Amino acid sequence: MIGCYDFCGHYEWTFEWLRRQGGEDLVRKYWEQAIGGDSQTHAARLIKENGFEGMAEYWTHTLAEEAAGYVATAASDVFRIDMHECPSKGFLLSNGLEQYHDYCDHCMGWIGPVMKEAGFHVNHEHNHCGKCWWEFRKTADQSAGSSVGTLSGASDVRLDAEWASHEAPKDVFEGATSPLERKRITK
């Protein structure tokens, strides 16, 4: 049996297996259809039916279950997550697991299409080292991502000393709903 304790390990291994079978298109199709459209139907339903409150309900449950180190900030027009210790990437890093070239893409791979379907878009940035932030807004709201500290105050992950110090490139998404909308920033 394969289990849920080391799920992130075989999930990440699966990305590379799929890439070898059908390239990056197949990996993205997997994130969108199998994860966003099948595994995470509970998230999709909550977000579609209850908007920002649904996001809070989904992530409160799932990030507690995964033992994430995060702060969620809800406002009337935006839902923000500051992820200080991603449990998923953290598991891979601490166990030295890396088969696929960009594990972090999987989040935008399923969350992006779910948000698009529910009428939202995403401002997001991750540092490939277990830290990221997300802001979800309604599609009609073309506001840019918030400036540092304005939404989540001292909990803003961009104020974390490790956020700036990492040499790994950061991936930035602005008003996005697909991993293809990535902009890569290298030091």
Partner 1 sequence: MLPYSDTKPVGAADFYFAINATFRFIRETLGAEALIVYWRGLGREYMAPVSQQWKEGGLPAVAEYWRAFFAAEPGAGVEVTLGYEDSLQRLGTDEGTPAKPSKVVLDVHTCPAIHHMRANGRTIDPGFCQHCYYVSAAAGEAAGLTVRVEGGNGSCRQIFFARDAAEKPQIMEHIKEAS
30 contacts partner 1 (rule: CB under 8 A): yes
Are the CB atoms for 105 and 88 separated by under 8 Å? no
Give which of 10, 28, 20 is closest to 110, Cα–Cα.
28
Interface residue with partner 1, options 71, 97, 159, 172 (CB under 8 A):
97
Q: How many residues bind partner 1 (CB under 8 A)?
A: 36
Q: Between 105-118 and 7-29, two packed helices, what is the crossing angle to 10 degrees?
A: 60
User: With CB under 8 A as the contact rule, which of the stretches 86-94, 126-134, 154-162, 168-176 interacts with partner 1?
Assistant: 86-94
How distant is the alpha carbon of residue 100 from its chain centre?
A: 16
29 contacts partner 1 (rule: CB under 8 A): yes
Give me the half-sphere count of Cα atoms (radius 13 Å) on the Cβ side of residue 20: 7
Interface residue with partner 1, options 95, 139, 142, 143 (CB under 8 A):
95
186 contacts partner 1 (rule: CB under 8 A): no
* Residues numbered 39-58 forming contacts with partner 1, rule: CB under 8 A: 39-40, 42
Q: Each residue of 85-113: b (16+ CB within 10 Å) or e?
A: ebbbbbbbeeeebebbebbbbbbbbbbbb
**Nearer CB in complex with partner 1: 41/139:** 41
Instruction: State the residues that interact with partner 1 by CB under 8 A.
Output: 1-7, 9-11, 13-14, 17-18, 21-22, 26, 29-30, 33-35, 38-40, 42, 62, 65-67, 87, 90-91, 94-95, 97
